[in-house]
């Protein structure tokens, strides 16, 4: 606690270092408040708030201004008690220390610049530090919060000094090495609140469409997608791997009589992908449903789901999107009320007419996808569309061939800003065809015998889709790197923090 000399003229115990439990009696009579809720209507209220000391500025020996941050909301706290001990204590706080402040909400003469709550401030009567941060932080929140424009402007001058202040550039690896601090920026607070809303809308819309939420195992006896991109492990003496997708089990759930299922869960891909859009672990949003007549029924659900999702984000997350915009400028996503569905051959034709060399029966590479996205945007005024009827050769073994031409499949991908975010299709529900297609792709049929057997007991025609949660947020907000939308990313080089 502060010394007796410093408390001259002030009530003993009104400031200093203290544990949380010791403050209960000291703060009696002050009501807990959220910084974001402090508005002019709260003037004269006696409140208690807890947050991080974002900045402290001393004015002489008796006055200090403390900017308190709680989440992404900030408020100015004025420390001006008689004697000056509390002001000197405030001035000595290290940035990011967690503090409790109690005082009276007041209206400043002029709006407070640099805080979210510009029309109010707190006249501090009690101030205690409950967790003191180290004085030399590995990165500062202020530096981590700089916009890309600020960084570019700083790089453009040789001294990287603007207005007499050092402006450090915090690179991607440095941010991720110190993610706990990086997450405190307004943009990151907003990104993961937007991500939460994406997941919520995904659940709510599918529940309203008669889907049932399920959970599937992440430990498998064999690859669910084929290929070698699996994390292998020992499972009680048996070879096993982490699930590349919930594909097999969500189909089995449909065969189990649930008809429409969805799930949200981790997906693991042991790929040496160093791109801006791949992770070794991500959150999958998956759905599977019984079909009545045609795989376009899955497209109908995707259309309704994502238009509702985008509408919700634009309507209900305006503050969060604005905070992201300030640090990572992006243009609002263009999408149609009814999502465009483009046949794969028509997409190929558009690319060829634009001079792009593409294989009509092959998959589109990243460059071709981006080019097609530009062409679609210019022609149809949308950055969100579906590409349907892919060639069978480029789809997974469990994809149903088109009945009119087996060279093509009952499948689709969905694109945002020229990048694929959703892959969907009708599945093969005939066990013999399924086994034949798996074997043709080099998959040991014995390792997926229980999956194939599930279709021997009666299976409805069905289809579904999967999408990465992080990729949806990255592309909707135009963030350019999926690591920005993963709380603690796992890529080929990163296993910490």
Q: How many whole angstroms separate alpha carbon 239 and alpha carbon 88?
A: 63
Q: What CA–CA distances, in Å, run from 388 to 95, 262, 385?
A: 53, 22, 10
Q: How many whole angstroms separate alpha carbon 419 and alpha carbon 144?
A: 27
Q: Name residues whose C-beta falls within 8 Å of residue 88's C-beta, 6 or more positions apart in sequence.
A: 6, 58, 61, 64
Residues belonging to the chain: 497
* 186-208 helix and 296-316 helix, angle to the nearest 10 degrees: 140
Q: Which residue out of 97, 392, 423, 486 is catalytically annotated? A: 423
Q: Name residues whose C-beta falls within 8 Å of residue 136's C-beta, 6 or more positions apart in sequence.
A: none
Reduce the DSSP state of residue 166 to 3 states and report it.
strand
Whether 277 is a known active-site residue: answer: yes
Whether 113 is a known active-site residue: answer: no
Reduce the DSSP state of residue 389 to 3 states and report it.
coil
Q: 363: how many CB neighbours lie within 10 A of its CB?
A: 14
422 burial class (0-12, 13-18, 19+ CB within 10 angstroms)? buried
Gap between the terminal Cα atoms of the chain = 34
Residues 102/14, Cβ–Cβ less than 8 Å: no
Q: Which residue out of 389, 427, 429, 471 is catalytically annotated? A: 471
User: Token pair 């990011």 is at which residue?
Assistant: 96
Whether 175 is a known active-site residue: answer: no
What does residue 301 show for φ and ψ, rounded to 5 degrees? Answer: -65, -45
Whether 271 is a known active-site residue: answer: yes
What does residue 344 show for φ and ψ, rounded to 5 degrees? Answer: -55, -45
Reduce the DSSP state of residue 232 to 3 states and report it.
strand
Q: Which residue out of 125, 281, 420, 470 is catalytically annotated? A: 420
Whether 288 is a known active-site residue: answer: no
Q: Which residue out of 50, 175, 277, 395 is catalytically annotated? A: 277
Q: Which residue out of 269, 341, 462, 483 is catalytically annotated? A: 269
Residues 250/244, Cβ–Cβ less than 8 Å: no
Q: Which residue out of 88, 95, 278, 494 is catalytically annotated? A: 278
Q: What CA–CA distances, in Å, run from 359 to 351, 390, 401, 402?
A: 10, 12, 19, 19
Q: What CA–CA distances, in Å, run from 100 to 22, 103, 107, 128, 260?
A: 12, 10, 20, 5, 49
Reduce the DSSP state of residue 311 to 3 states and report it.
helix
Q: What is the DSSP track for 286-306? A: EEEEE-SS-THHHHHHHHHHH
Q: What CA–CA distances, in Å, run from 151 to 168, 187, 323, 325?
A: 8, 15, 17, 15
Degrees (nearest 5) of the Cα angle 445, 446, 451? 75
Q: Which residue out of 142, 209, 259, 271 is catalytically annotated? A: 271
Q: Which residues are catalytic?
A: 269, 271, 277-278, 420, 423, 471
């Amino acid at each position: 606690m502060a010394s007796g000399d410093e408390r001259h003229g002030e009530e003993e115990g009104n400031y200093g270092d203290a544990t949380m439990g010791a403050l209960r009696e000291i703060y009696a009579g002050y009501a807990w408040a959220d910084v974001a809720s402090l508005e002019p209507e709260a003037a004269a209220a006696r409140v208690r708030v807890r947050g991080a000391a974002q900045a402290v500025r001393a004015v002489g020996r008796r006055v200090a201004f403390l900017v308190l941050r709680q989440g992404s909301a900030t408020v100015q706290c004025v420390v001006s008690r008689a004697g000056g001990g509390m002001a000197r204590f405030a001035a000595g706080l290290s940035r990011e220390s967690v503090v409790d402040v109690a005082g009276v909400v007041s209206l400043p003469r002029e709006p407070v610049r640099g805080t979210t709550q510009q029309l109010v401030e707190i006249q501090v009567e009690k101030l205690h530090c409950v967790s003191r941060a180290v004085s030399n932080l590995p990165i500062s929140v202020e530096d981590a919060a700089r916009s890309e424009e600020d960084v570019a402007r700083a790089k453009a001058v040789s001294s990287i000094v603007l207005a007499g202040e050092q402006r450090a550039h915090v690179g991607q690896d440095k941010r991720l090495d110190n993610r706990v601090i990086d997450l405190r920026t307004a943009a990151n607070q907003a990104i993961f609140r937007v991500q939460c809303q994406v997941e919520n809308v995904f659940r709510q819309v599918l529940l309203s469409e008669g889907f049932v939420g399920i959970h599937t195992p992440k430990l498998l006896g064999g690859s669910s997608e084929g290929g070698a991109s699996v994390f292998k492990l020992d499972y009680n003496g048996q070879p096993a791997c982490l699930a590349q997708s919930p594909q097999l089990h969500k189909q089995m759930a449909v065969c189990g009589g649930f008809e429409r299922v969805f799930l949200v869960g981790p997906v693991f891909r042991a790929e040496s992908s160093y791109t801006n859009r791949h992770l070794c672990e991500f959150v999958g949003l998956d759905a599977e449903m019984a079909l009545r007549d045609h795989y376009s029924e899955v497209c109908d659900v995707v259309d309704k789901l994502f238009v509702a999702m985008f509408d919700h984000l634009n309507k209900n997350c305006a503050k969060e999107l604005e905070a992201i915009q300030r640090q990572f400028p992006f243009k609002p996503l263009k999408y149609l009320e009814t999502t465009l569905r483009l046949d794969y051959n028509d997409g190929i034709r558009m690319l060829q007419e634009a001079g792009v060399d593409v294989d009509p029966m092959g998959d589109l590479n990243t460059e071709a996808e981006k080019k097609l996205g530009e062409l679609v945007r210019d022609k149809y005024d949308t950055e969100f569309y579906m590409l349907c009827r892919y060639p069978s050769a480029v789809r997974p073994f469990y994809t149903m061939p088109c009945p009119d031409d087996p060279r093509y499949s009952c499948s689709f991908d969905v694109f945002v800003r020229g990048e694929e975010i959703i892959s969907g299709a009708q599945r093969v529900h005939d066990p013999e065809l399924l086994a034949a297609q798996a074997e043709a792709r080099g998959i040991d049929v014995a390792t997926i015998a229980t999956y194939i057997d599930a279709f021997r007991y009666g299976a409805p025609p069905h289809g579904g889709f999967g999408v990465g949660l992080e990729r949806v947020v990255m592309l909707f907000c135009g963030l350019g790197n999926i690591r920005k939308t993963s709380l603690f990313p796992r890529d080929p080089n990163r296993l910490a923090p």
